[in-house]
Amino acid sequence: MTTSSRPRVNHLGRDVSSRIPAWDAVPGLVALGERDEAIWALAAPYLTVRDNDAHSLFSYGLAAALLSQLPEANEGIVLPAILLHDTGWSTVDEREALEAIAPGGGVPELVLKHEKEGARIAREILTTVGLPASDIDRITEIIDGHDSRPDSMSLEDSIVKDADKLWRVTPHGRAVVCDWFGIDDDESLRLCAYRAYSELFTEPARAMSRALVAVGSMQNSPQLELVHQREQS
Ligand SMILES: [Fe+2]
Ligand SMILES: [Fe+2]
């Protein structure tokens, strides 16, 4: 349990903890396995700019959810690729990195640079961790082009691209995008949701996007605003 998830109050007034299901009895919970923990330990230092570390972890969770719906995909390619895909932003100046992805065009050369450098860093890390050479080739091929390549080379490539884009319509993604561009949550939702549907490759990702965007819409609805005001008065 993280510090922020500790309860503030117990309205019921008695302990229900013995009735909470065990972690591995619950479908859909996600944790990094041993291989991915080793990759993450080496990747995290390259992901400290622009919330890329949290972005990569949330995208990892989304990739795992997509894999549960697309079991024919190779998780050994998808999960390392999603953890490492944005390590290349560490080689781009942080201010320039925001210009690179700003609405209205961005800077394509810098997007290409983060993909190429990310593939290079990923190859180093995966070699250290000891993945088979053929897997390393496939993973780095996906990373090199994950944003700029408009089509998909494989189901694994599709899942990585979809998990990356889906993050934008999560609560964390929307909040980060608000601060990137000085926009409010409603604007951030519109900006993010605009691309996180029509550009998705897999049907499960489109369904997840619809659900996340629907929840975000209700979060910004005038009716929920009144509910919050009533709760505070
Ligand atoms: Fe990227
Ligand atoms: Fe990304």
The domain that holds 212 is classified in CATH as 1.10.3210.10
146 Cα to the center of ligand 1, angstroms: 6
190 Cα to the center of ligand 1, angstroms: 20
101 Cα to the center of ligand 2, angstroms: 11
- Which residue's structure tokens are 């309205």? 11
Residue 188 has pLDDT above 90, yes or no: yes
Q: CA–CA distance from 158 to each of 49, 90, 161 (Å)?
A: 25, 24, 5
How far is the C-alpha of 202 from the C-alpha of 26, rounded, in Å?
25
Residue 14 resides in a domain: no
pTM of the model: 0.94
138 Cα to the center of ligand 1, angstroms: 17
Domain that holds residue 199: 33-147+154-232
Residue 20 resides in a domain: no
pLDDT (mean) for 110-114? 94
Residue 176 resides in a domain: yes
pLDDT (mean) for 203-214? 97
* Domain count for the chain: 1
- Which residue's structure tokens are 């997007």? 111
110 Cα to the center of ligand 1, angstroms: 10
210 Cα to the center of ligand 1, angstroms: 22
* Alpha-helix runs per DSSP H in the chain: 34-43, 52-69, 75-84, 94-101, 108-129, 133-143, 155-166, 171-181, 185-195, 203-219, 222-232
222 Cα to the center of ligand 2, angstroms: 31
23 Cα to the center of ligand 2, angstroms: 28
Q: Yes or no: say if 213 and 197 are a contact pair by the CB < 8 Å rule.
A: yes
pLDDT (mean) for 110-133? 97
How far is the C-alpha of 118 from the C-alpha of 87, rounded, in Å?
5
| Burial class of residue 201 (count of CB atoms within 10 Å of its CB; 0-12, 13-18, 19+) | middle
172 Cα to the center of ligand 1, angstroms: 16
Residue 11 resides in a domain: no
SS3 86: coil
Query: pLDDT tens-digit profile of 155-184?
Result: 999 999 999 999 999 999 999 999 989 999
Residue 101 has pLDDT above 90, yes or no: no
| pLDDT (0 to 100) of residue 4 | 61
How far is the C-alpha of 67 from the C-alpha of 61, rounded, in Å?
10
Residues in the chain: 233
Residue 94 resides in a domain: yes
Residue 110 resides in a domain: yes
How far is the C-alpha of 179 from the C-alpha of 29, rounded, in Å?
29
88 Cα to the center of ligand 1, angstroms: 8
167 Cα to the center of ligand 2, angstroms: 8
| pLDDT (0 to 100) of residue 138 | 98
Residue 118 resides in a domain: yes
Nearest CA to 83 out of 43, 34, 133 is that of 43
147 Cα to the center of ligand 1, angstroms: 6
Band (94; pLDDT cuts 50, 70, 90): confident
Residue 84 resides in a domain: yes
